Amino acid sequence: MGEIKVRRYQKGDEYEIFDLIRKDALSENIKDYTEYNIKKMIEDHNVEVIKERAEKYHAYVLTDEDKLVGVGMIAPYWDSLTESIFLTVFIDPDYKGKGLGRKIIETLENDEYFINVNRVEIPASITALEFYRHFGYDFKYMGHIVEDDCYRLEKYPNKNKVLNRNQYNLRPYIDNDYHKYKEFVYQTKKEAYKKYVEEYWGSWIEEDQRNYFEKFINAVSDDAWIIQLNGKDIGFYNGETLDDGSYEIGNICIIPEYQGRGIGTQVLKDIMELHKNQDIHIQFFKSNSVGRLYEKLGFQLCGETDYHYQMVKNKSNNLVK
């Protein structure tokens, strides 16, 4: 690697930038996204889009001699004069771990679109979340839940705002060569429900429970999330919108060493906020005292089975306290 230099975008760079983005997505982002998501990511950064953004806003590239090895752009946030946004930040995978990420962030943070505004936003990929948080970017309101395949982070250049390292985040469930989330979810659910299974059915039969779980995870995988705290997997959540338009909260499970910190309760409140325009359903084992919390949050008993109580919070009463 020679001396890495920074310069502004030049006409024609868009072709190398596109190749760089495609290479980075297929090498790094594929670890955290499905093949469909990666294909969409690449299509959303096609040559025409890159050229339009680069000519309209402030785009920088990193070069190693004649080779383009990094890119970053900064622009006004929806034409705002007081807010900006980072766009199209990618590094050649062959140059990862060599300080190029820091170099492009420092370059963007020295641009007038950063220096002269009150707030800067980043639509951060799942892959890059902890990288941006390292530079002091924190979740905006509800930004800790993936929207359009990205987290929404922000930073206030002209204010001292302490990074909230205790803010959990939700990331979509995936099970691939890089993340063995299926086994993590199974063990997390086992920790949460084994005592209730033994209480009501007498014993936890591992083979049977594995079979039940396989059917469960296949059914909910598109509506399932891993709960993380500072890059560590600490729990699992699933829920879905039903045919009648209401929303059903499934499982909120936190691993034992992170219980008692209010994280599960905050996940519940945030999900309620996201779905406040829908009736929300939830159920729980009858011997679980969590029902008192649900009642406090506005849920009302609406039914029961042999083993579960069922509650609902009507959308007309969905003001989370």
Q: What is the pLDDT of residue 12?
A: 97
Sorted by sequence, the CB contacts under 8 Å of residue 220 that are 6+ apart come out as: 238, 240, 250
Residue ranges of domains in the chain, CATH in brackets:
4-165 (3.40.630.30), 170-317 (3.40.630.30)
Model confidence pLDDT, tens digit, residues 164-219: 888 999 999 999 999 999 999 999 999 999 999 999 999 999 999 999 999 999 99
Q: What is the pLDDT of residue 102?
A: 97
Indicate if the pLDDT at residue 319 is higher than 60: no
Alpha helical stretches, state H, 64-180: 100-109, 112-115, 129-134
The Cα 4–Cα 65 span in angstroms is 7
Tokens representing 89 are 């930040």
Query: What would the DSSP string read from start to end of 178-237?
Result: S-BHHHHHHHHHHHHHHHHHHHHHS---HHHHHHHHHHHHHHHGGGEEEEEETTEEEEEE
Indicate if the pLDDT at residue 9 is higher than 70: yes
Helix (H) or strand (E) holding 120: strand 119-125
Give the three-class secondary structure for 93.
Answer: helix
Model confidence pLDDT, tens digit, residues 90-107: 999 999 999 999 999 999
Query: What would the DSSP string read from start to end of 151-163?
Result: EEEEE-TTS----
Indicate if the pLDDT at residue 321 is higher than 70: no
Mean pLDDT (the chain, rounded): 95
Q: What is the pLDDT of residue 160?
A: 73
Model confidence pLDDT, tens digit, residues 210-261: 999 999 999 999 999 999 999 999 999 999 999 999 999 999 999 999 999 9
Q: What is the pLDDT of residue 2?
A: 84
The Cα 215–Cα 138 span in angstroms is 37
Q: What is the pLDDT of residue 240?
A: 97
Q: What is the pLDDT of residue 318?
A: 59
Average pLDDT of the segment spanning 11-15: 98
Average pLDDT of the segment spanning 32-60: 97
Say if pTM beats, i.e. exceeds, 0.85. Answer: yes
The Cα 225–Cα 223 span in angstroms is 7
Give the three-class secondary structure for 310.
Answer: strand
Model confidence pLDDT, tens digit, residues 281-291: 999 999 999 99
